[in-house]
Amino acid sequence: MNVSIPVNLKYTPFACGDYVSYLEIINALARADSPLQYSVYCNDDFSSHDFVQTERLLLHHLPYPVSWMQNLRYLCWLNTVFLHKTGLQKDKVGLFINQKMPHFWQGKSLFRVQDLAFHYFKDYFTPKDRFRLRLDSYRGITSADHILAISENTKKDIVELYNIPANRITVAYNGISKLYRRLEDDSSVEAVRRKYQINSPYILHTGVLQKRKNLVRLFQAFELFKQRCNEDIKLVLVGGKGWLYDEILEQRSTMKEKDSVIFCGKVSSSELLAFYNGAQLFVLPSLYEGFGIPLAEAMACGTPSIAADSSSLPEVGGDAALYFDPYSIEEIAEAIAKVVFEEATRNQMIVKGFEQVKQFSWDETANKINNILLSFQ
């Protein structure tokens, strides 16, 4: 059986969560012991060297000539070029890993749901993006033969928001790239410190700058921590700009400790690995995450981690992370202080973190996907 996978895999030199996760899923499927063959269709140029080389994985470039409005461009391609090539035949099977599905797909379908934050935080998205996300998600969730949720919390949200029977949903956790590990040599850590002029211990946050990441409260909590403890410590943020981020930048500009908050922007995967390894503490204060890969990556690197007690984060962090109310500046500051000043707590979190992340495997995700697809035969 041949399975069609449409995806936007335009190459980027930066550590990009979606790009990496799509590659990891496709390569894990290619490695799996399965009779299935996968045809991957991309609307942009991609690097074939990023993929596992096997006869079971076929790569197709189906260009779309329109270059304006990137999000709409992919949807137009999905519902015209890709659909015409593959989806108008009822004997086709489609795997939709990026929460987008053609509106007139005729064959069997497995639809992967990553994030439903737009349902809960409507003001944190532009009207255009909210409309697009609702439309994409509704089509796939309500019409797919089976749904893949990336966490138990996401599964619960699907059941409650769309009234989908739980037996139509399988939870398949995101995995962690084997790149993210504890480094024995700290030369790469020192290199990123020099490059980004980080000359003291630092707390790390990674992710796109957007309102639901709750960075305004993180800045306020960090400033409160600094006022109380007078520690020479920085807050380092890694990740590009998303949308509706002006409030974040404005908050930083008004801080007394603004020079202690360092924006590093987009970085490469190797630099991100070094950032994780060099951090004294990782913090993820998001109001909602479908999974929260940065939390798992940080623990895989041996970095003590604190996170919001919201959405999927307690599920991902287990008993290895320390949690706080994301709406409480006081609790965030207290959690930072606890990990920074209590060495025994840090050491215990590191050990538990290594154990916790063992359950997050892209190969296990691929096995679940293969089993569902084989049931379509």
Distance CA 367, CA 365 (A): 5
Tokens of 281: 């503490």
Name the strand (E) or helix (H) holding 339.
Answer: helix 329-341
Domains 2-175+361-374 and 187-359 share a fold: yes
Q: Point out the least confidently predicted range of 63-67, 74-78, 327-331, 340-344.
A: 63-67
What's the pTM value of the predicted model, to 2 decimals? Answer: 0.93
Domain ranges of the chain: 2-175+361-374, 187-359
Distance CA 77, CA 83 (A): 8
- Residue 147 CB-density burial (10 A; 0-12 exposed, 13-18 middle, 19+ buried): buried
**pLDDT, position 16:** 61
For residues 283-296, give the mean pLDDT: 96
Indicate the CATH number for domain 2-175+361-374. 3.40.50.2000
Write the pLDDT tens digit of every residue in 16-36. Answer: 667 788 999 999 999 999 999
Superfamily assignment of 187-359 in CATH? Glycogen Phosphorylase B; (3.40.50.2000)
Write the pLDDT tens digit of every residue in 173-197. Answer: 999 999 999 999 999 999 999 999 9
Tokens of 315: 């599920």
Q: What are phi and psi of 64, to 5 degrees?
A: -125, 125
Residue with tokens 């994301």: 326
Residue 281's nearest CA partner among 220, 343, 329, 199 is 343
The 3-state DSSP class for residue 68 equals coil
Residues 6+ apart with CB under 8 A from 237: 205, 206, 209, 215, 261, 262, 263, 264
Q: Check pLDDT > 60 for residue 79.
A: yes
Residue 62's nearest CA partner among 133, 9, 1, 140 is 9
Write the pLDDT tens digit of every residue in 120-171. Answer: 998 888 888 888 889 889 999 999 999 999 999 999 999 999 999 999 999 9
Residue 28's nearest CA partner among 56, 60, 61 is 56
Beta bridge partners of 147: 111, 169
